[in-house]
Amino acid sequence: MRIVLLGAPGSGKGTQSQRLVQHHGIPQISTGDLLRAARANGTPLGLRAQAAMDAGKLVDDEIVLGIIRERLAEPDAQRGFILDGFPRNIAQAQALDAMLRELGQPLDAVIEMQVEYDELTRRISGRRTCSDCDRVFNTFGGTAAQSGADLCPKTGAPHRLFQRPDDDEATVAQRLRVYEEKTRPLVEFYRSQGLLRSINAQGDVDAVTARLEAALARGKAPASSSAKVQVRKKAAAGKKVPAAKKAPPKRQAAAGKKAPSRKKAAARPKRPMAIRKARRKMAARKASRKPARKPARKPARGKARARRHR
């Protein structure tokens, strides 16, 4: 299963990604995590990313794609992956598609997580991040981290939470405007490819997970039916139309005579044929009978009297 989780900041992509990791055993690939790991490990791409960030510039798409390519080459990503936070615009989506086709790992689905903007603002302003393991929690979610029951996997102690500057409520509106301008067009981009599946990402976390799993279990989106229709049309065009069967030799018309069409033959009335048969029978009966004797002619009355007087 190779999917992209698409949604505005605060839509719950990170939370649902972690659940998919647990349920399906495939890795979550977050570009932010990858960049931090590359910088920490001092890889060539990580050093280039660090130089760009130190100069106050955005990290080039080429660097991000290179880091994703390296991550997809690892053994745990061979069964699938979850892309979270990438792509963020049409150019990145096109570059990602080209790279995945080259690797023979095309996307299976893109899940759009729909949340109203008022709820997004509330969620983002309530975010807190662990300074040790980088895990993200939310003060409105009643998570185990706030209750002290969950411990940091790195330190074994309670999470040390802080609010990132870009999670401050003052910056939320600007982040949402950037999403609308740059990332929202990806919805139509992936819909046109038949990959998009949208879910309501508001409400109970378990309910959202159930909707997400149901969307992944479905086949391709109706919009992909256009590609299937094209395939069916091509297949139909390649089929040869069977030639009309020729009439057997016995039914061929005699030389020089035009054989009547089936339509005309079927239109002939049956009565004349029956009359001809009846006439032939009557003629046969007459021919078989002996001619009857003619009765003797009686003489006229005057001639009979004259004979008696003689």
Selecting among 2, 39, 69, 175, the annotated active-site residue is 175
Q: Does 122 participate in catalysis according to the annotation? A: no
> For residue 278, how far is the Cα from the chain centroid?
71
**Cα 113 to Cα 208: distance, rounded to the nearest angstrom:** 9
Annotation says 271 is catalytic: no
**Among the options 13, 48, 71, 197, which is catalytic?**
13
User: What is the C-alpha to C-alpha distance for residues 208 and 214, in angstroms, rounded to an integer?
Assistant: 10
Catalytic residue among 48, 123, 127, 191: 127
Asked if 48 is an active-site residue, the reply is no
The closest of 154, 122, 115, 128 to 11, measured between CA atoms, is: 115
Q: Which of 2, 36, 69, 88 is catalytic?
A: 88
Active-site residue among 164, 228, 233, 281?
Answer: 164
Q: What distance lies between CA 84 and its chain's CA centroid?
A: 22
Give yes or no: 197 in active site. no
Q: Does 307 qualify as catalytic in the annotation? A: no
Beta bridge partners of 30: 84
The Cα–Cα gap between 6 and 12 comes to: 10
Active site residues: 13, 88, 127, 164, 175
